[in-house]
Structure 1
């Protein structure tokens, strides 16, 4: 059963919105993914995992996982996390790394050169077909072409909290580039709720071992994630590490003020969206000290001998991944994109003082990218 524990003595604050409320799913897409896409624009949103949501409870974020945790810490909100939230955040970072190192990692994933076309056929139109199910079928095709047959099961968990929409998000993140597819801060979190069962969180911890197969950067990243996930698991043994949660943002508990992050949340920001490493030095030696000074009063967090990085708040990477899809709707071809990941915080509770990351997926047609192929002999 879920575990709940208190981190700070102060009361939780209601979440305040300082900008205009979201009005639609298309508006949410435009405010999140749309802001980072320089060349592609959404002409028509075909489908999304959000069905009749309460938009007043959705607050858009650049990275819906990292930013939700940061806001809970900085603004005094209760925090709720599912194992799926953590695993989606991990896979999102891994996606950035793989796509940036596609050639050097090719032998782990595929036997073909370049990009291989994968085609899914389904009955219906772009308005009636279930793109979530098509993502599932696309993953089955990928599984047939992938070298490492254990990869699919590693990516797709079976947590007690996993929903159908979570699975679709995992599947979209799974679509790597080897294929073409058709402030003044406040401080402290009042309380944390980890949903699911202890076994769910143990599965995440066990999955980290596979990262060692993909090179020095993923190996170092696994070492950063292991102390974090270990403490998630121990919380279910009535051993919540309160000091750990106080260091989520900064090495010094309940610290506030600087424009950089030095807490363990940096482990979810080790690659930027281009897949460039921005984590701690890969050559650091294990340390027995609780923190390591770089210069002056700037210190790195150390947990279980592992040194964590320091990252500017503006360098927190996006929480979403994307994959291009060529859609043939009964002879009319559309250039489309599927987007998935953490795009917002969901505000909950009678007092509106509790937040959780909100994972969402979208499927949309590119603006001015419709090509009618009827009569072209296709």
Structure 2
């Protein structure tokens, strides 16, 4: 109603689609389902408590606006369909005006409607996908030797513990990816 009033007061055209009205209807139904979750449980699911739905997305980066949230919402929606059957199709519209935006909005309302029956978990693997040691083996040897030379400036306390690290970098060199794999730090 606010949008309609604003269009009127600003003398702007106004457009309605079946998706818009359907979303409003589904929001009302979702609220009703939440208020009466246990009474309606047997009409949606066969399990007691909350079934856990897990989605793994290794392409997510914390806080990135590029994360494909629509794909995740759709994945949760499809897994919900496995549990609730035809009730899923009641929420998700298929009008000629339905774009991916309207579908995602409807699927979010669906997730809201069935939140008493499911726990939604999104997992991602964090970490460094690859580390590359650049330069030649000789470069790394020179680095270790030159660092060792700094000890003469009363820095033995610092360079003595640093030497094993530099030697390990020298040893691993082109095999560093293998080192990450064997340590369980890389999925490559």
TM-score, normalized by the shorter chain, greater than 0.5: yes
The alpha carbon displacement at 1:137 in A equals 1.0
Q: CA deviation at 1:133?
A: 0.8
1:90 is the counterpart of 2:28: no
Aligned to 1:158: 94
Aligned residue runs from structure 1 range 296-335, under 5 A: 327-330=122-125
Structure 1 counterpart of 2:73, from 121, 135, 138? 135
Asked if structure 1 preserves the Cα contact closer than 8 Å seen for 2:56 and 2:124, the reply is: no
**Cα root mean square deviation, aligned:** 2.1
Query: Is contact 2:80-2:88 (8 Å) kept?
Result: no
Q: Any unmatched runs of 5+ in structure 1?
A: 1-65, 183-326, 333-378
For residues 194-238 of structure 1, the C-alpha deviation after alignment (integer angstroms, 9 at most, x for no partner) is xxxxxxxxxxxxxxxxxxxxxxxxxxxxxxxxxxxxxxxxxxxxx
- In 1, Cα distance between equivalents of 2:13 and 2:32: 32
Contact 1:122 1:129 in 2 (8 A): no
| Shift, 1:103, TM fit | 0.6
Structure with higher strand content: 1
Separation in structure 1 between the aligned mates of residue 87 and residue 8 of structure 2, nearest angstrom: 35
Matched with 1:118 is 53
SS at match of 1:119: strand
2:37 equivalent among 91, 102, 122: 102
Corresponding residue of 1:279: none
Gaps of 5+ in 2: 128-188
TM-score by length of 1: 0.30
Partner residue, 2:103? 167
* Contact 1:123-1:129 within 8 A present in 2 as well: no
Deviation at 1:162, TM superposition (A): 0.9
- When normalised by structure 2's length, the TM-score is 0.58
Q: Quote the Cα distance in structure 2 between the aligned partners of 1:139 and 1:179.
A: 11
Question: Larger C-alpha radius of gyration, 1 or 2?
Answer: 2
Structure with the larger RCO, 1 or 2 (CA within 8 Å, 6+ apart) = 1
What is the number of equivalent residue pairs in this alignment? 121
- SS of the counterpart of 2:56? coil
How far 1:145 moved relative to its partner? 1.5
Question: How far apart are the structure 1 equivalents of 2:32 and 2:108?
Answer: 15
Query: What residue is the counterpart of 1:375 in the other structure?
Result: none
Higher helix proportion, which one? 2
- Per-residue CA deviations over 1:123-170 (Å, capped at 9, x if unaligned) read 312335411011111111111112xx2212222222111111111111
Structure 2 Cα separation of the partners of residues 122 and 135 of structure 1: 12
Residues 11-65 of structure 1, C-alpha deviation per residue, up to 9 Å, x if partnerless? xxxxxxxxxxxxxxxxxxxxxxxxxxxxxxxxxxxxxxxxxxxxxxxxxxxxxxx
Q: CA deviation at 1:110?
A: 0.7
State the shift of 1:85 in Å: 0.9
Contact 1:118 1:138 in 2 (8 A): yes
